[in-house]
Amino acid sequence: MQKTIYGFSLLLASSLLLAACTNQAAKDAAISSSQHQASQQKQNSLSTASKKEALDSQSTSIKIADASLAAAKSANRQTTESSQRTSRPAETTTTVKLTDSQKTSVTQAFLTWAEGQAKIGNMAVSDWYFDHGAAGHGDWFADSPDGRILVQSQVAQSDANDAQYPIHAIGGCVFYTAKDGTVGHGNLYQGDFASNYSIDMDMSRPVSKYLLGDNGKVYELKTGNGQAVSTNTGFGEVADDGQSDEIQSVPFSVSQDQDAQSELKTLLAQY
């Protein structure tokens, strides 16, 4: 009986020892697994951080490269523009001295060209762009961005006049819509001077006066569109003292009609 009890006790102790070892092994395995997971998470975190750091570094490098490229392009563009400005010849204006007969020839040739242009625009054109009748005692002129243009001198042309007027009018024309439907060469010389443009010019439509300068430029005054227009519209007159203005002018602008500019330059090229 005593042997039996001893054997049972020994068996019980062995079972308890085995259970304890098993629990310890389980605990060790759990700790090892937890440590492994923590290590793996740490490695993954480090790997993610490294990747993010690498991507951030790459993004910064790309931005720096883009900025450098943009700066290089800007510098190259500025260098090119500077070179073009340096190599581009400065625009020069040469005044052509013409006799009265030469001025008439140029004006008539320009008018012939203008008649073709008027037909395209379903308009009429006349060389009666300026007139002041019997009135007037001083020079008649037009103002422009390039200076005052002498249209009609009341005294013989002199060096003083040349100094006061850097540009002299060769002639001109006026584009308009005719009341009688005329297209191309128009006839504004109807009735007396007092009637002026009113007989056949439709002033409710656009009217453009072209002024040909002996500096090779065409100047233009846009009017009409409901505004009354006459032969001296846009032009000013110098008073008897030769200094002050008796009649104020309305400034002409350099015409944006490049065909007209080219035509005048072609006509003046022979002089």
Tell me if 237 sits within 8 A of 133, measured CB to CB: no
Residue 219 placed within a domain: yes
Residue 66 placed within a domain: no
Residue 225 placed within a domain: yes
Residue 222 placed within a domain: yes
Residue 228 placed within a domain: yes
Dig out the tokens for 66 from the structure. Answer: 């883009």
The residue whose two tokens read 């395209």 is: 120
Dig out the tokens for 58 from the structure. Answer: 């790459």
| Inter-CA distances, 24 with 38, 81, 132, Å | 21, 84, 125
Containing structural domain, residue 110: 100-133+170-236+250-269
248: closest CA among 235, 257, 230, 267?
235
Average pLDDT by stretches of 10, the chain with 271 residues? 48 48 52 56 54 54 51 49 42 78 97 97 97 79 95 69 84 97 94 92 98 98 96 90 76 97 97 93
pLDDT for 162 equals 64
Residue 89 placed within a domain: no
Helix, strand or coil, per DSSP, at residue 134:
coil
The residue whose two tokens read 């350099």 is: 254
* Distance from C-alpha of 46 to C-alpha of 67, rounded to nearest angstrom: 31
Helix, strand or coil, per DSSP, at residue 90:
coil
* Distance from C-alpha of 144 to C-alpha of 146, rounded to nearest angstrom: 5
Looking only at the bridges linking them, the beta strands covering 124-126 and 167-176 are: antiparallel
Residue 88 placed within a domain: no
Residue 227 placed within a domain: yes
Please tell me the total count of domains within the chain: 1
pLDDT for 32 equals 54
Q: Which stretches within the chain are classed as H helix?
A: 2-87, 100-120, 159-164, 258-268
